[in-house]
Amino acid sequence: MAVKKNRAAGPGAASNAAPNAASSAAPSNKPSAKSGTQGASGESETISYTKAFEELQQIVDELENEEVEVDNLVSRLQRAEKLLQICKARLTATETAAEKLLDKIRG
């Protein structure tokens, strides 16, 4: 995995990495499409599966296109890990609910 080196010097240097979409992402109004995770600060984050997947894909694209500054690499990977946990939890919950409904239908 290659990363873009931070060529800018000084505190006023601009970053080429995309801003963290989680801070600007509005939560979905669909309660059935949400999954929460415990943040590092102890606060729970609620984000829809779709938003989590889109942000995860954005991070993957940044990494593949070498758009992540070395200084931001660890935080972007940590965010990707959190988003992956959200997606996995939502898929597992959906699968469990679907199996229960199918079992109920089958009688």
Give the pLDDT confidence of 49-67 residue by residue, as tens digits. Answer: 999 999 999 999 999 999 9
Provide the b/e sequence for 90-100 (b: ≥16 CB within 10 Å): beeeeeeeeee
Residue that is written with structure tokens 């059935």 in the block? 32
Residue spans per domain, the chain: 45-106
Percent of the chain with pLDDT strictly greater than 70: 59
pTM flag (> 0.85): no
List the structure tokens of 103. 């079992």
